[in-house]
A and B are shown apart, each in its own frame.
Chain A
Amino acid sequence: MPTPRHHLNRQRRRRAALADQSGPGGRTRTPAGVLTEPAPRTGERPAAKSVRETAAEPKGETGARRTTDGRKTGGEGTTRETTGGRRAGRVPLAVLCLLTLLLGGFAGWAYSRAGELRDDPARGNTALTDLARTSEIKGQTGAAVAALFSYDHADTTPFERAGKTLLTGKAVAQHRTLLGGVLAKAAEQKTVITTTVTDSAVERIDGDRARVLVYADQSSVSTAGLPSKGKTAKAGDQGVYAGAMFAVDVVLRDGRWLVENIDTFGR
């Protein structure tokens, strides 16, 4: 059923192709063979296939018609295009190649520029740019420093708990060294140390690591020999106020920022 139509189409195509060859300068060119040769091959293939298709579906008249219609229009479209010829095809090809090169070049350049910008160390540091995280770090570091450097001889549990829960890595040893001298005499001198963070600033946040500069005030009072246990400093108490500055490296572990390193600037 579709074969006669197809045959006609094929013939028409071939004629058109021949006309195209015999056109201006067509015969002298060698690609003429290339043009004529595949034509019958390609013409045969769809025909054979459609026969198989119609055989597969015996009463598929509409389906068959649809395919032939589609093929017909397709065939006509290609015949028209072929008349356009390959000479005309070279210009768009060149244009496309040039476009590809230009666009590809721009893509590569833009990609590297974007990468350069992203690699900017300023961008890697999210201190202040990520306000929520900055204040979270500030708050937790301040609380940790206050807990780690405050000591009450009457109740040492908060101090010990802080040492166990807020420190990690080498900060454990650093903390012990820093407070060792005080703790050795703390029990007999009835020392009360209170540390308050007065100022702090986040220097750098790099993912789950951060560095915080801390200014802290430390008051230490030795209440030895006093009858009352009152914490308020009275005349005669050896109250000492000292300002301290140091930097701490903190690291995020299970949602908490732990002190990993205490930098006392060589003091």
Chain B
Amino acid sequence: MTRPVRTPAGIRPALAVALVLTLAAGASAAWAGRDWYAAAHDDSAAYAVQRDEALAAGEQAVQNLNTLDHKRVEQGLDLWESSTTGALHEQLVEGRKEFTGQVRAARTVTTARVLSGAVTELDDRAGRARLLVALRITVTTPDSKSTDKDSRMLGELTRTDGHWKLSALGQAPVGGTAVG
């Protein structure tokens, strides 16, 4: 009833419409903002991102540690050291000299390809993860003969300074753990 009386003002319906539109915009802004906040602060999403980061870093590190060219041993071993941390890192540093000699004598080129990889455990607070990496290693001897070998790698990752690095790496034992 009061609506028609307002028309004389001319601007009133426009004002009313504008008010309704503003309220609608405000409501949708609130909804979208909340939605965005929820999406940005989703714990499981952050966990998923950590999982994928750990996997990517882990696969790369495992590949790095199985790649070595006798002509570029120093570079290769530098990469090994930068991909690792903790006990594994220390082990590599300690055995570096001896290993360099062995590779130079054998004159082999080793390359690796990650076939598949997956994280089995992830503690994103402690910064620890375990992963499985299926690897195909190709060793080329000085007489250009190359052999492929599949490797079932088990790795442990530790996050240091925001980066995931390998702190342990080994092959899944065959036979020993079969029973049980």
B-binding residues in A (CB < 8 A): 13, 17, 31, 34-36, 38-39, 41-42, 45-46, 71, 74-75, 77-78, 81-82, 85-86, 89-90, 92-93, 96-97, 99-101, 103-104, 106-111, 113-114, 117-118, 120-123, 125-130, 194, 196, 198-204, 212-213, 215, 217, 219, 241-243, 245, 247, 263, 265, 267
Q: Does B106 have its Cβ within 8 Å of any Cβ on chain A?
A: no
Contacts of B42 in A (CB 8 A): 117, 123
Residue pair B35, A86 in contact (C-beta under 8 Å): no
Chain A residues, Cβ within 8 Å of B154: 199
Q: Which residue from A17, A71, A99, A127 sits with its C-beta under 8 Å from B118?
A: A127
How would residues 1 to 33 of chain B score, 1 for a CB under 8 Å from any chain A CB and 0 otherwise? 110111111111011001101100110110111
Contact B47 A86 (CB under 8 A): no
What are 24 A-B contacts defined by CB distance under 8 Å? A39-B8, A75-B2, A82-B9, A86-B9, A86-B10, A99-B26, A100-B25, A101-B25, A103-B26, A110-B29, A113-B36, A113-B39, A120-B45, A120-B48, A199-B132, A200-B120, A201-B118, A203-B117, A204-B118, A213-B132, A213-B134, A215-B132, A241-B175, A241-B178
Q: Does B150 contact A (CB under 8 A)?
A: yes
CB A209 to nearest CB in B, in angstroms, measures 15
**Are B11 and A122 interface neighbours, CB within 8 A?**
no
Number of A-B contacts (CB under 8 A): 200
CA distance A82 to B12 in the complex (A): 9
Residue among B15, B39, B51 making CB contact with A127, cutoff 8 Å: B51
